[in-house]
Amino acid sequence: MFAVYAARIDRDQPLSGLELGERPAPLARPGWSTVEVRAASLNHHDLWSLRGVGLPEDRLPMILGCDAAGVDEDGNEVVLHSVIGQSGHGVGPDEPRSILTERYQGTFAEQVAVPTWNILPKPRELSFAEAACLPTAWLTAYRMLFTNAGVRPGDSVLVQGAGGGVATAAIVLGKAAGLRVFATSRDEARRKRALELGAVEAVAPGARLPQRVDAVIETVGAATWSHSVKSLRPGGTIVISGATSGDRPPHAELTRIFFLELKVVGSTMGTKDELEDLLAFCAATGVRPVIDELLPLDRAREGFERLEAGDQFGKIVLTNS
């Protein structure tokens, strides 16, 4: 079958290890199902995999891609929960949790195999492309906002780095849930887009906000950390799920954190139940993922190049006709 895969690890030039071509189709195994992939979305996780983060060379070649929507063996339209081993289903209780492409072949292919437990019905209101955006970036944003930040309608949230998949999802979900959303971006066009998606104000990174916020959604890391801490009200919460600019901020702001009793919460992906709730939320409210570009699978390299350059706003989706 045709697939997009990591053939080599290169920490400095990750796309040099990206290959497109034929790979073996998934083999049947007890407790697992094979899904015909209709759409799959790119994540920064795919670039990190090409750098060898979470993917050692002895597991190559590895088909990339965490997210997918497609059709199962019984003809049902489905969405995949990409965390394997969270429940023990299909792999046993002693295997540690992993994301597709870390231990098991991913979704950038004509077919993908996952534990049957990891398959959820796709709401008919969502297209395959829309549904394929949800299981990683949008699920991460959903968990950050509603589980780990614990915000409620009327609360205020700062989203750092508008344009990235998680940040864009947080703006849209926050607006739909009745939050007062502020956003940052270095790019004026992205700030304008954030306003169109529902942010009440979009500013340059580091700019003073009109008010201190109840929570900060942090995926940028070192470049925005100090601003995130300084933007919180006393007792507020920073939820962090990534550090695309580095994980060692020059100023940790520890004095401010303990003096104002701020909370710092780590967040990774989400549960199957949370994904089910997110799918239902989108179906019921009309909220839809922001899609930057649709590309056929055989043009995946273009999508990776766009993602690496940071030119996208929202999700890049690969499709199988």
Quote the tokens at residue 207.
């700019």
Distance, in Å, from the CA atom of 136 to the CA atom of 42, rounded to the nearest integer, reads 9
pLDDT(256) > 80? yes
Angle in degrees, CA 174, 179, 185, rounded to 5:
60
Give the number of other CB atoms < 10 A from CB of residue 21.
Answer: 11
pLDDT(86) > 90? no
Q: 238 pairs with which residues across the strands? A: 216, 264
Helix 188-197 crosses helix 165-176 at what angle (to 10 degrees)?
Answer: 30
Superfamily grouping for domain 2-133+289-319: Medium-chain alcohol dehydrogenases, catalytic domain (3.90.180.10)
Give the chain's largest Cα–Cα span: 57
Residue boundaries of the structural domains of the chain: 2-133+289-319, 137-266
Helix (H, G, I), strand (E, B) or coil at 300: helix
Q: In Å, how far are 84, 86, 121, 280 from 118, measured between CA atoms?
A: 8, 10, 10, 17
Q: 36 pairs with which residues across the strands? A: 71, 111
Give mean pLDDT, residues 129-158: 97
Least confident segment among 73-82, 135-144, 227-236, 245-254? 245-254
pLDDT for 218-234, tens place per residue? 999 999 999 999 999 99
pLDDT for 64-84, tens place per residue? 999 999 999 999 999 999 999
Please tell me the CATH code under which domain 137-266 is placed.
3.40.50.720
Q: What is the per-residue pLDDT for 147?
A: 97
Instruction: Kindly report whether the global pTM for this prediction surpasses the value 0.75.
Output: yes
Distance, in Å, from the CA atom of 221 to the CA atom of 238, rounded to the nearest integer, reads 11
107, 65 contact by CB (below 8 A): yes
84, 97 contact by CB (below 8 A): yes
